[in-house]
Amino acid sequence: MELDALRTALAASPDNVPLLLLVANACIDQFSLDEAQNYYERVIALDPRQPEARTGIAHVLNLKGRGSEAILRLEQVCQDSPRHAPAWMLRAKLILAEGNATEARSHYEQAVALDPTLADADLVTRIDQAGGRADSSRRNGGRIRPQAAGDSQAGAYYDPDDENEEEDEDFFLDSEEESDAEMEREFVQKADISFAQVGGMDRVKEDIRMKILYPMQNKDLFAAYGKKAGGGVLLYGPPGCGKTLISRATAGEIKAKFLSIGLHQILDMWIGKSEEKLHEIFALARRNAPCVLFFDEVDALAADRKDMRTSAGRTLINQFLAEMDGTSGSNDGLLVLGATNAPWHLDSAFLRPGRFDRILFVPPPDEPAREEIIRLLSEGKPTTGIDAAALARKTKDFSGADLKAVFDQSIESALTEAMKTGKIVPVTQKELLLACKQVKPSTRKWFESAKNYALYANQSGFYDDILEYLGLKK
């Protein structure tokens, strides 16, 4: 019945990619493999690089007993979409079934590094039993750690004093190209969006144009005035307001490579005390200049050294400072973007000239921006009578993420209704307005904290933008 309801829903919205994927997955659950494959292929027809559908087809092929073909397809998915963790995980399982435990472990580690929730203790046990061992080159670089939650043997294969360490190190040093490729796979993201695809944020876009894009596009002119293009820019503001998206779009605008380092990778560095890894990332970015090096949740890496309980962590912060200063290589054409929800946790040394010396406040979307986001969110979904302008008026202080939550909630209730009736139930304005009341704007709490910092710790006018936004500065 559920699958039937989904099929009916799909009939009304045949190009709805999430729905196609949902139906395809449901078909797999009922072992309707041909039908599932058909839906995945429809997704691929709409978006040839869609990783979930491509992984789904590999899954179907494997279930049909065509394991080798599935592995080949997964190799392609992993190459084209290196951050799609389920593809790595499925690849690990299939490779293990082929008897290659070492490679299986490597893929497993990659999958878990990208998405720790995929950790699978049973799989690790099977890999262990099959003789798979941790990828030592990664271990030395502190690159990807085994993170199997619930895996009591996880520690067994992570041993920094492993007897093969020296040998592994040689391997690591000798295979720079391979290492580069691996790092690219881990960090490089597509910068295939531009400002036009980012809803609202006009002021931020204008600031970025003035502070980042024009200097990079007119290097000589800036050099004539003794100014350098590139450098460091810090984006701060409440969570869910598009800091990461605007960073990607910035890279897209300057047609540069986009290296993205997230919180989990930052934590890897802390735990591994991996100054070397940080240096490698910067080196990779320099080799790929013009390049945007994006640190999400940068306060986790550039933490205030006063807060550090141990001196061990400080060396990583010092390394970050040295890399930003360009002491171990020229940072020409390298733009370091940092995004944070908690700029007050940043070590003040990072705000000095030559480091994150340009600071941009990314506020919650204003009414026209919210209207645009609402329009984007309602695209491709069965809706009726949506008045984006009215919704925008009712969602003051909502972040982009909050608006998405509003839509998710409404879609869920429409889908539940659709399941019951077996008919398409479009999302209505009424449901969205109801969801608006249930979803609390997450930015208010942030501004409560930010206001205190802006009022009492506003040295050098760092938080003037917040005061201005809150109407506390004339």
Partner 1 sequence: MQDYILRGRLLREQGRYPDAEAYFRQAIGASPDQVEAYIELALCLLPQEGRRREALEIIDRCIQLEPDHAFNHALRSLILSRLARGRDASAAADQAIGLDPDGSFNHTVKAEAMLVQEKWKDAEMAARKALALDSDNTSARNLLALALQYQGRNVEASVAVETLLADAPDSPFAHLNAGWACLRSNDHQQAEVHFRESLRLDASLDAAREGLIESFKARSWLYRLYLRYHFFMQRIQSGTRWALIIGLILAVNLGSKVLQTIHPLASTVLITAYLIFVLWVWLASGIGHFLILLDPSARLALKPKERAEGIAVGGGLLAGIACITLGILWDSPAFWLLGAGLGCGAMPASLYFTNESSNGRWIFGLFLAFLYGGGLILAVTAWISGAKVLTGRSETFITMALIGTMLCTWIGNIPTLRQEKPR
Name the site residues for partner 1 (rule: CB under 8 A).
116, 145-147, 149-152, 154-155, 158, 263, 267, 270-271, 299-300, 303, 306-309, 313, 342, 344-345, 449, 451-453, 455-457, 459, 472
CB of 251 to partner 1, least distance (A): 25
Give 256 or 466: the residue with its C-beta nearer to partner 1. Answer: 466
Of residues 242, 241, 466, the one with CA closest to residue 343: 466
CB of 468 to partner 1, least distance (A): 14
Using left for φ > 0, alpha for ψ between -120 and 50, and beta otherwise, residue 79 falls in: alpha
CB of 341 to partner 1, least distance (A): 9
CB of 241 to partner 1, least distance (A): 17
What string of DSSP letters covers 227-289? --S-EEEEEE-STTSSHHHHHHHHHHHTT-EEEEE-HHHHHHHHHHT-HHHHHHHHHHHHHT-
Give 158 or 222: the residue with its C-beta nearer to partner 1. Answer: 158
Q: How many CB atoms lie within 10 A of CB 255?
A: 9
CB of 464 to partner 1, least distance (A): 14
Of residues 333, 335, 315, the one with CA closest to residue 273: 315
- CB proximity list for 66: less than 8 A, separation 6 or greater: none
CB of 359 to partner 1, least distance (A): 17
Whole-Å CA distances, 459 to 36, 44, 354, 370, 419: 59, 53, 19, 32, 56
CB of 38 to partner 1, least distance (A): 38
Q: What is the C-alpha separation between 282 and 329, in angstroms, rounded?
A: 9
Enter the tokens of residue 290. Answer: 């013009």
CA 149 to chain centre: 21
Give 61 or 316: the residue with its C-beta nearer to partner 1. Answer: 316
Give 96 or 298: the residue with its C-beta nearer to partner 1. Answer: 298
Enter the tokens of residue 439. Answer: 């979803």
H or E stretch at 162: none
CB of 149 to partner 1, least distance (A): 5
Give 222 or 270: the residue with its C-beta nearer to partner 1. Answer: 270
Give 91 or 145: the residue with its C-beta nearer to partner 1. Answer: 145
Give 77 or 454: the residue with its C-beta nearer to partner 1. Answer: 454
Give 268 or 371: the residue with its C-beta nearer to partner 1. Answer: 268
H or E stretch at 53: helix 51-63
